[in-house]
A and B are shown apart, each in its own frame.
Chain A
Protein backbone atom coordinates (compact mmCIF):
# COMPACT_ATOMS: atom_id res chain seq x y z
CA UNK A 1 0.00 0.00 0.00
CA UNK A 2 1.38 3.42 -0.94
CA UNK A 3 2.27 5.94 1.78
CA UNK A 4 -0.25 8.52 0.60
CA UNK A 5 -2.96 5.86 0.81
CA UNK A 6 -2.34 5.61 4.54
CA UNK A 7 -2.79 9.39 4.87
CA UNK A 8 -6.06 9.09 2.99
CA UNK A 9 -7.26 6.33 5.33
CA UNK A 10 -6.29 8.36 8.41
CA UNK A 11 -8.17 11.35 6.97
CA UNK A 12 -11.28 9.21 6.45
CA UNK A 13 -11.16 8.01 10.07
CA UNK A 14 -10.84 11.61 11.32
CA UNK A 15 -13.92 12.56 9.34
CA UNK A 16 -15.91 9.61 10.70
CA UNK A 17 -14.78 9.65 14.35
CA UNK A 18 -13.52 13.19 14.98
CA UNK A 19 -10.36 15.18 14.32
CA UNK A 20 -8.55 13.90 17.42
CA UNK A 21 -9.50 10.26 16.97
CA UNK A 22 -6.29 9.22 15.17
CA UNK A 23 -2.77 10.55 14.56
CA UNK A 24 0.09 9.61 12.27
CA UNK A 25 3.19 11.10 13.89
CA UNK A 26 6.82 9.91 13.76
CA UNK A 27 5.73 6.86 11.77
CA UNK A 28 3.33 5.75 14.50
CA UNK A 29 -0.41 5.40 13.87
CA UNK A 30 -2.29 5.90 17.12
CA UNK A 31 -5.99 5.61 17.90
CA UNK A 32 -7.17 8.32 20.36
CA UNK A 33 -3.65 9.26 21.60
CA UNK A 34 -5.10 11.80 24.05
CA UNK A 35 -7.16 9.07 25.74
CA UNK A 36 -10.92 8.67 25.95
CA UNK A 37 -10.93 5.35 24.09
CA UNK A 38 -12.78 2.32 25.46
CA UNK A 39 -12.54 -1.03 23.70
CA UNK A 40 -14.91 -3.75 24.89
CA UNK A 41 -12.21 -6.41 24.42
CA UNK A 42 -9.87 -4.58 26.85
CA UNK A 43 -12.60 -4.29 29.47
CA UNK A 44 -13.47 -7.97 29.11
CA UNK A 45 -9.82 -9.07 29.21
CA UNK A 46 -9.14 -7.12 32.42
CA UNK A 47 -12.29 -8.46 34.07
CA UNK A 48 -11.49 -12.03 32.95
CA UNK A 49 -7.90 -11.82 34.22
CA UNK A 50 -9.04 -10.48 37.60
CA UNK A 51 -11.80 -13.10 37.83
CA UNK A 52 -9.50 -15.97 36.91
CA UNK A 53 -6.85 -14.96 39.42
CA UNK A 54 -9.45 -14.74 42.19
CA UNK A 55 -11.41 -17.83 41.12
CA UNK A 56 -14.44 -16.17 42.70
CA UNK A 57 -17.77 -17.14 41.17
CA UNK A 58 -19.25 -13.61 41.44
CA UNK A 59 -16.42 -11.96 39.56
CA UNK A 60 -16.41 -14.73 36.95
CA UNK A 61 -20.11 -14.23 36.34
CA UNK A 62 -19.63 -10.47 36.10
CA UNK A 63 -16.76 -10.95 33.64
CA UNK A 64 -18.89 -13.27 31.51
CA UNK A 65 -21.61 -10.61 31.36
CA UNK A 66 -19.09 -8.49 29.46
CA UNK A 67 -18.67 -11.16 26.78
CA UNK A 68 -21.24 -10.08 24.20
CA UNK A 69 -20.18 -12.44 21.41
CA UNK A 70 -17.24 -13.76 19.43
CA UNK A 71 -14.50 -11.37 18.38
CA UNK A 72 -15.22 -9.74 14.99
CA UNK A 73 -17.28 -12.60 13.52
CA UNK A 74 -17.25 -10.82 10.16
CA UNK A 75 -13.42 -11.01 10.05
CA UNK A 76 -12.83 -14.45 11.50
CA UNK A 77 -10.89 -15.61 8.44
CA UNK A 78 -8.85 -12.42 8.03
CA UNK A 79 -5.13 -12.92 8.66
CA UNK A 80 -4.70 -9.60 10.43
CA UNK A 81 -7.48 -10.35 12.93
CA UNK A 82 -6.14 -13.80 13.71
CA UNK A 83 -2.98 -12.75 15.50
CA UNK A 84 -4.57 -10.63 18.19
CA UNK A 85 -7.64 -12.72 18.79
CA UNK A 86 -6.30 -16.03 20.16
CA UNK A 87 -6.35 -15.14 23.86
CA UNK A 88 -9.64 -13.29 23.58
CA UNK A 89 -11.28 -16.34 22.00
CA UNK A 90 -9.99 -18.68 24.71
CA UNK A 91 -10.88 -16.50 27.72
CA UNK A 92 -14.68 -16.93 27.86
CA UNK A 93 -14.27 -20.72 27.72
CA UNK A 94 -11.87 -20.57 30.66
CA UNK A 95 -14.25 -18.35 32.65
CA UNK A 96 -17.21 -20.64 31.93
CA UNK A 97 -15.21 -23.67 33.04
CA UNK A 98 -14.24 -21.94 36.30
CA UNK A 99 -17.88 -20.88 36.85
CA UNK A 100 -19.09 -24.46 36.65
CA UNK A 101 -16.35 -25.68 39.00
CA UNK A 102 -17.29 -25.81 42.71
CA UNK A 103 -16.23 -22.62 44.50
CA UNK A 104 -13.72 -22.89 47.32
Chain B
Protein backbone atom coordinates (compact mmCIF):
# COMPACT_ATOMS: atom_id res chain seq x y z
CA UNK B 1 0.00 0.00 0.00
CA UNK B 2 1.41 3.35 -1.03
CA UNK B 3 0.44 5.09 2.19
CA UNK B 4 2.05 2.52 4.41
CA UNK B 5 5.34 2.60 2.53
CA UNK B 6 5.28 6.38 2.83
CA UNK B 7 4.72 6.07 6.56
CA UNK B 8 7.43 3.44 6.91
CA UNK B 9 9.85 5.74 5.07
CA UNK B 10 8.89 8.65 7.29
CA UNK B 11 9.36 6.52 10.40
CA UNK B 12 12.89 5.73 9.30
CA UNK B 13 13.58 9.46 9.01
CA UNK B 14 15.67 10.85 11.84
CA UNK B 15 13.60 14.03 11.85
CA UNK B 16 10.59 12.12 13.10
CA UNK B 17 9.79 13.39 16.61
CA UNK B 18 9.93 10.05 18.39
CA UNK B 19 7.92 9.30 21.45
CA UNK B 20 10.44 8.91 24.21
CA UNK B 21 10.93 5.43 25.56
CA UNK B 22 9.76 6.45 28.98
CA UNK B 23 6.53 8.03 27.65
CA UNK B 24 3.59 5.76 28.28
CA UNK B 25 0.93 5.24 25.63
CA UNK B 26 -1.51 5.16 28.51
CA UNK B 27 -0.62 8.81 29.10
CA UNK B 28 -3.18 9.92 26.55
CA UNK B 29 -2.56 13.70 26.47
CA UNK B 30 1.17 13.13 25.85
CA UNK B 31 0.42 10.52 23.18
CA UNK B 32 -2.04 12.80 21.37
CA UNK B 33 0.39 15.72 21.42
CA UNK B 34 3.09 13.45 19.96
CA UNK B 35 0.75 12.08 17.28
CA UNK B 36 -0.49 15.54 16.29
CA UNK B 37 3.03 16.93 16.14
CA UNK B 38 4.27 14.02 14.05
CA UNK B 39 1.36 14.18 11.63
CA UNK B 40 1.75 17.95 11.28
CA UNK B 41 5.33 17.45 10.12
CA UNK B 42 4.53 14.42 7.97
CA UNK B 43 0.98 14.71 6.68
CA UNK B 44 -0.73 11.42 5.82
CA UNK B 45 -1.56 11.10 2.11
CA UNK B 46 -5.31 11.29 1.67
CA UNK B 47 -5.74 12.89 5.10
CA UNK B 48 -6.56 9.67 6.91
CA UNK B 49 -5.48 10.81 10.32
CA UNK B 50 -6.75 7.77 12.20
CA UNK B 51 -4.80 5.52 9.86
CA UNK B 52 -1.74 7.65 10.40
CA UNK B 53 -2.15 7.38 14.15
CA UNK B 54 -2.43 3.62 13.85
CA UNK B 55 0.75 3.35 11.80
CA UNK B 56 2.67 5.48 14.22
CA UNK B 57 1.44 3.60 17.26
CA UNK B 58 2.26 0.26 15.69
CA UNK B 59 5.71 1.34 14.61
CA UNK B 60 6.44 2.85 18.00
CA UNK B 61 5.40 -0.18 20.01
CA UNK B 62 6.85 -2.82 17.69
CA UNK B 63 10.14 -0.98 17.47
CA UNK B 64 10.43 -1.23 21.23
CA UNK B 65 9.40 -4.83 21.49
CA UNK B 66 11.01 -6.36 18.41
CA UNK B 67 8.87 -9.37 19.18
CA UNK B 68 5.83 -11.00 17.55
CA UNK B 69 3.98 -10.72 20.85
CA UNK B 70 4.27 -6.97 20.53
CA UNK B 71 1.18 -7.11 18.32
CA UNK B 72 -0.88 -7.92 21.39
CA UNK B 73 0.49 -4.96 23.31
CA UNK B 74 0.07 -2.61 20.40
CA UNK B 75 -3.51 -3.83 19.90
CA UNK B 76 -4.23 -2.96 23.52
CA UNK B 77 -2.52 0.41 23.19
CA UNK B 78 -4.20 1.18 19.87
CA UNK B 79 -7.63 0.23 21.20
CA UNK B 80 -7.18 2.44 24.25
CA UNK B 81 -6.07 5.40 22.18
CA UNK B 82 -8.81 4.91 19.61
CA UNK B 83 -11.58 4.69 22.18
CA UNK B 84 -10.26 7.86 23.82
CA UNK B 85 -9.98 9.56 20.45
CA UNK B 86 -13.63 8.73 19.86
CA UNK B 87 -14.56 10.56 23.04
CA UNK B 88 -12.26 13.51 22.65
CA UNK B 89 -12.39 14.22 18.94
CA UNK B 90 -15.93 13.17 18.10
CA UNK B 91 -16.72 9.60 17.17
CA UNK B 92 -17.81 10.48 13.62
CA UNK B 93 -14.35 11.62 12.61
CA UNK B 94 -12.75 8.43 13.86
CA UNK B 95 -15.51 6.19 12.50
CA UNK B 96 -15.00 7.64 9.01
CA UNK B 97 -11.65 5.87 8.82
CA UNK B 98 -12.81 2.75 10.60
CA UNK B 99 -13.00 0.37 7.58
CA UNK B 100 -9.48 1.33 6.54
CA UNK B 101 -8.23 0.99 10.10
CA UNK B 102 -9.77 -2.51 10.29
CA UNK B 103 -7.92 -3.52 7.12
CA UNK B 104 -4.67 -2.36 8.66
CA UNK B 105 -5.35 -4.11 11.95
CA UNK B 106 -5.93 -7.32 10.02
CA UNK B 107 -2.80 -6.82 7.97
CA UNK B 108 -0.59 -6.45 10.99
CA UNK B 109 -2.36 -9.24 12.88
CA UNK B 110 -3.33 -6.82 15.59
CA UNK B 111 -6.58 -8.60 16.25
CA UNK B 112 -5.28 -10.47 19.27
CA UNK B 113 -7.70 -8.85 21.65
CA UNK B 114 -7.14 -8.50 25.35
CA UNK B 115 -9.91 -10.40 27.21
CA UNK B 116 -11.03 -7.42 29.28
CA UNK B 117 -11.40 -5.43 26.07
CA UNK B 118 -13.33 -8.10 24.17
CA UNK B 119 -16.91 -7.26 23.34
CA UNK B 120 -19.23 -9.53 25.37
CA UNK B 121 -20.55 -11.17 22.18
CA UNK B 122 -17.09 -12.51 21.21
CA UNK B 123 -17.25 -16.06 19.86
CA UNK B 124 -15.33 -18.91 21.45
CA UNK B 125 -14.56 -20.21 24.92
CA UNK B 126 -12.87 -17.83 27.37
CA UNK B 127 -11.47 -19.36 30.54
CA UNK B 128 -10.41 -17.09 33.40
CA UNK B 129 -8.14 -18.51 36.10
CA UNK B 130 -6.63 -15.32 37.54
CA UNK B 131 -8.53 -14.12 40.58
CA UNK B 132 -10.94 -17.07 40.36
CA UNK B 133 -12.39 -19.54 37.88
CA UNK B 134 -15.02 -18.55 35.35
CA UNK B 135 -15.94 -19.53 31.80
CA UNK B 136 -17.63 -17.49 29.09
CA UNK B 137 -18.92 -19.29 25.98
CA UNK B 138 -19.84 -17.15 22.97
CA UNK B 139 -20.23 -14.12 25.18
CA UNK B 140 -22.36 -15.87 27.83
CA UNK B 141 -21.08 -16.57 31.32
CA UNK B 142 -21.43 -20.25 32.25
CA UNK B 143 -23.24 -20.65 35.56
CA UNK B 144 -21.12 -22.15 38.29
CA UNK B 145 -23.37 -25.18 38.65
CA UNK B 146 -21.11 -28.10 37.82
CA UNK B 147 -22.88 -31.38 38.44
CA UNK B 148 -19.49 -33.08 38.75
CA UNK B 149 -16.77 -31.35 40.74
CA UNK B 150 -14.17 -33.20 38.69
CA UNK B 151 -15.56 -31.78 35.42
CA UNK B 152 -14.78 -28.27 36.64
CA UNK B 153 -11.37 -29.47 37.81
CA UNK B 154 -10.61 -30.99 34.39
CA UNK B 155 -11.39 -27.71 32.61
CA UNK B 156 -8.93 -25.92 34.93
CA UNK B 157 -6.32 -28.63 34.43
CA UNK B 158 -6.56 -28.49 30.62
CA UNK B 159 -6.63 -24.69 30.56
CA UNK B 160 -3.27 -24.74 32.37
CA UNK B 161 -1.78 -27.63 30.35
CA UNK B 162 0.62 -26.94 27.46
CA UNK B 163 -1.44 -26.95 24.26
CA UNK B 164 -4.55 -27.41 26.44
CA UNK B 165 -4.31 -31.20 26.14
CA UNK B 166 -3.19 -34.09 28.33
CA UNK B 167 -2.83 -37.84 28.04
CA UNK B 168 -5.74 -39.61 29.69
CA UNK B 169 -3.40 -41.40 32.14
CA UNK B 170 -2.11 -38.06 33.33
CA UNK B 171 -5.69 -36.82 33.81
CA UNK B 172 -6.71 -39.96 35.70
CA UNK B 173 -3.66 -39.62 37.98
CA UNK B 174 -4.40 -36.03 38.85
CA UNK B 175 -8.16 -36.12 39.31
Interface residues of A (CB under 8 A from B): 1, 3, 5-6, 8-10, 12-13, 16-18, 21-22, 24, 27-33, 35-41, 43-44, 46-47, 49-51, 53-54, 56-59, 61-63, 65-75, 79-81, 84-85, 103-104
Contact = CB atoms under 8 A, between A and B. Distances in A.
B174 interface: yes
20 contacts: A3-B172, A8-B148, A9-B148, A16-B146, A28-B165, A28-B166, A29-B154, A31-B164, A38-B124, A39-B126, A41-B129, A43-B72, A47-B73, A53-B65, A62-B77, A65-B116, A68-B130, A68-B131, A73-B132, A103-B21
Contact of B171 (A29, A35, A41, A79): A29
A39 B132 CA distance: 12
Given A30-B158, A67-B130, A40 B115 contact: yes
Grouping DSSP codes into helix (H, G, I), strand (E, B) and loop, the B interface class, with mixed when no group exceeds half, is mixed
A44 B175 CA distance: 26
Contacts of B131: 68-70, 73
Contacts of B125: 17-18, 21, 31-32, 36-38
A58 B130 contact: no
B59 interface: no
Interface string B141-175: 01000111011011111111100111111011011
B17 to A, nearest CB: 17
Contact of B69 (A28, A46, A84): A46
B41 interface: no
Contact of A30 (B151, B164, B175): B164
Contacts of A44: 130
B133 interface: yes
Contacts of A58: 23-26, 61, 64, 73, 77
Given A17-B137, A38-B124, A56 B160 contact: no
B35 interface: no
